[in-house]
Structure 1
């Protein structure tokens, strides 16, 4: 009669060897990436602008910035920009250093202070961007960090692209399986690769112009998924 130790070793061996045949089957798998993309017309824009001023005293520099930024925000409000579409990005203050030659040595000294206030503005009327930029320039904005376009229904578009990406993965898998003389089995794993795309940020020249011309172009949206299928020998005729 087998003792308990021998039985335990036999069971351990059975458990250890059982996955070997399973792993051999798992090797017969097909991994594909499904992709989908679309170009859409942007319906909103984001501008980062601000005011930067220098003065001998820190308080004076910040006061000048505050006055001009209030005028800029008033101008934006008069252009129909809602308060929730304006957000302060950052406020900064730092000394202005200069080098002075004394006793044949260069010395650094503070000659003033520079203050700035940056604002992010979301515009829902793309056709009016040029006029808005012209107005804020007149109101005192003297710092621009860029202009980017986006699509407000991006989530809905990405849902559609995700479905199309999965369909594309199935199409590729069926084609590859057929070309290799194999039959496509069930899906073992799906990984959502996520979305990508969007209009690049555009640099803006600091120039006073009447209704600065702006071209929105299109926004490119993309989505991809990774799908793993089983593949098997095709079943013969009955």
Structure 2
């Protein structure tokens, strides 16, 4: 029995030795920093949200009114050069309207219906945005009011922001290393978070007009600022 047990015990001791030695290895000193970078570019595309609201004594009447107005808006968008891929129905809602008893007694009564139809339009020519907004109101759009200015392909500006963020992180790490009296080593780990521009809605009142203005709606596109944040881990040199 001893001849069988003893080798097993010896083997366990040999296998366990490296594990114990590995557990005692010191953690390599590192520097962790965050870097920020941003780059600005003029938008080359606008996304409009156009809504038609109609009401009627019945759901049918309300829906027919909304359909007529929205069909006119869609036709006008196509005639203005907006492609089918840039037109999308983004919402359709049919809701009853209620009247509640003033004395709080009894059940609410349906007095009519409301239909809301929302169209999302991508406009690839920024200069046409104001004219299209004005035209949509003339044809029956009476709710909405959000314009998102964006870029069809932001890869180049994001790359610029990314490089700025990494440069910022390295500068911070070099400052820390210099203050601590050590040498900055190579990059051990890096991760990124990209932040696109926040959509900026125009004033809602601009879309709740009962009559069209004589001139196109004034619109200023400004510029989009893309931000990138990185976290970088550097080793400390010998």
Q: What residue is the counterpart of 1:16 in the other structure? A: 20
Once residues 41 and 89 of structure 1 are traced to their aligned partners in structure 2, the CA distance between those partners, rounded to angstroms, is: 26
Task: Report Cα offsets for 1:100-130 as digits up to 9, x if no partner.
Answer: 458x834301111111110001112222222
Compare the two structures and name the one with the higher strand fraction. Answer: 1
Moved more, 44-53 or 149-158: 149-158
Q: Taking structure 1 as reference, are residues 145 and 212 closer, same or farther at Cα in structure 2, changes over 3 Å only? A: closer
What SS does the corresponding residue of 2:27 show, helix, strand or coil? helix
Task: Report Cα offsets for 1:180-209 as digits up to 9, x if no partner.
Answer: 210111221111223343452333322332
- Displacement of 1:174 after TM fit? 2.2
Question: How many residues are matched?
Answer: 229
What SS does the corresponding residue of 1:105 show, helix, strand or coil? coil
Moved more, 208-217 or 28-37: 208-217
Task: Report Cα offsets for 1:78-111 as digits up to 9, x if no partner.
Answer: 2222221111001111211112458x83430111
| Gap runs ≥5 in structure 1 | 234-238
* TM-score, normalised relative to structure 2: 0.87
Q: What residue is the counterpart of 2:59 in the other structure? A: 58
Task: Report Cα offsets for 1:6-54 as digits up to 9, x if no partner.
Answer: 4414532430331322xx332x100111221012111111111111111
Q: What residue is the counterpart of 1:229 in the other structure? A: 234
RMSD of aligned residue pairs (Cα, Å): 2.2
Moved more, 163-172 or 139-148: 163-172
Moved more, 164-173 or 106-115: 164-173
| Gap runs ≥5 in structure 2 | none
Once residues 59 and 50 of structure 2 are traced to their aligned partners in structure 1, the CA distance between those partners, rounded to angstroms, is: 22
Once residues 125 and 45 of structure 2 are traced to their aligned partners in structure 1, the CA distance between those partners, rounded to angstroms, is: 7
- Displacement of 1:167 after TM fit? 2.7
Task: Report Cα offsets for 1:208-237 as digits up to 9, x if no partner.
Answer: 32211111122111112111011144xxxx
Once residues 198 and 108 of structure 1 are traced to their aligned partners in structure 2, the CA distance between those partners, rounded to angstroms, is: 41
Q: What residue is the counterpart of 1:112 in the other structure? A: 112
Answer yes or no: is 1:194 the counterpart of 2:194.
Answer: yes
Q: Is the 8 A contact 1:185 1:232 kept in 2?
A: yes
Q: Is the 8 A contact 1:89 1:119 kept in 2?
A: yes
Q: What residue is the counterpart of 1:35 in the other structure? A: 36
Q: Is the 8 A contact 2:40 2:157 kept in 1?
A: no
What SS does the corresponding residue of 1:61 show, helix, strand or coil? helix
